[in-house]
Amino acid sequence: MAAFVEQLPQTVLWIFLYFCRIGAMLMVFPGYSSTFIPVRVRLMLAIAITLALSPLLLGLPGARPAGGEPSAGALLYLAIGELLKGLALGLMARLFFLAFEFLASAVSMFIGLGNFPGAPAEGIQPQPVLVSFIMLGAAMLVFVTDLHVQALAAVLDSYAVLPIGTFGDAGGFLEALVGKLSAATFLSLQATAPFLVYAIIANLAIGLVNRLSPQIPAYFISLPLLIAGGLFLLMLALDEMFGVFIAGFADMIING
* Tally of domains in the chain: 1
Range of the domain at 41: 2-255
Distance CA(223)–CA(248), nearest Å, equals 33
- What is the full DSSP assignment across 67-101? SS---HHHHHHHHHHHHHHHHHHHHHHHHHHHHHH
Read off the amino acid at residue 29: F
Dihedral sign, CA of 17, 20, 25, 26? positive
> What digits encode the pLDDT tens for the residues 82-121?
888 888 888 888 888 889 988 888 888 888 777 766 666 6
Cα–Cα nearest to 148, from 30, 38, 40, 247? 30
Per-residue buried b or exposed e for 40-54, using 16+ beta carbons within 10 Å of the residue's own CB? eebeeebeebbeebb
Residues 87 and 28 sit within 8 Å (Cβ to Cβ): yes
Q: Using one digit for the tens of pLDDT, what is the confidence trace for 52-73?
A: 988 888 877 766 665 556 666 7
pLDDT in the model for residue 225: 82
Residue 234 pLDDT exceeds 60: yes
pLDDT surpassing 80 at residue 159: yes
